[in-house]
Amino acid sequence: MAFLLLLVMLTTCAAIPQDLSGKMFTFPEETGTANVRLKTSTQDFKAVTVCFRSITDLRRDHNLFSLATPSAQNAFLIFKTASSVIDFLVSNKKVEFGAEDYKLNMWHSFCSTWDSKTGLVQLWFDGKSSIRKFTGGSNITTPSVILGQEQDSFGGGFDVKQSFVGMMSDVHMWDYTLSSCEIERYMDDLNFTPGNALNWRALDFQITERVLIEDKQMSCH
């Protein structure tokens, strides 16, 4: 399988926005340093929707999406535990969602929403929506968004035993709560409104150490 860019060792390499349609980030090893930093187009969020797809064979705890601010290390965190639970944190307050259908070595699609007005969060997993739960939280400002590692401090504080090993693709983020119909369109890989804060088709990112950009593996059938 042909693959493109990018193997960066020991340093962080700046990048200009790139169209990653049909591509994926590959995190091929357990490490406490390798990561992808994503630059959002806005620095102030009153609401958030995040969608992405991932595949892994990890049985331990691992990060899926980490957003920290100077005042909250877990300002918006999606974290898979070793059990059949997905932790969802906003402003360091945690709620749990069951993920009994989470299978290893299989692509899964996630979307998550939060609104500061209501303080409610909701998770979509492979097209199925959860109930809404309350976390509260105020505006998210000056975000640091990282894939591959979980931030225990703003922009750092990584723990190798919480790192992600696998592949991720189709990462989008909006500064509003996406409608359920738009989320369904994302889940079904149909035409949907791309993220206005993070857009996989025009992504501003930096890679540190061994993370590769490869062609996304597609079914032959």
Cα–Cα distance between 79 and 145 in angstroms, integer? 14
CA distances in angstroms from 95 to 51, 81, 131, listed in the order given: 18, 12, 11
pLDDT in tens, 35-56: 999 999 999 999 999 999 999 9
Query: Considering the domain 23-215 in this protein, what is its CATH number?
Result: 2.60.120.200
pLDDT in tens, 138-164: 999 999 999 999 999 999 999 999 999
- Report the half-sphere exposure of 133 (CA within 13 A, side-chain side): 18
Cα–Cα distance between 200 and 203 in angstroms, integer? 5
pLDDT in tens, 176-197: 999 999 999 999 999 999 999 9
Q: 2 pLDDT exceeds 70? A: no
**201 φ, ψ to 5°?**
-85, -5
Are the beta carbons of 61 and 162 closer than 8 angstroms? yes
pLDDT in tens, 70-107: 999 999 999 999 998 999 999 999 999 999 899 999 99
* 217 confidence band (pLDDT: 50, 70, 90): confident
What's the mean per-residue pLDDT of the chain?
A: 93
Neighbours of 74 (CB within 10 A): 21
Give the contacts of 77 (CB within 8 A, at least 6 positions apart). Answer: 63, 65, 66, 67, 87, 88, 89, 150
pTM of the model: 0.92
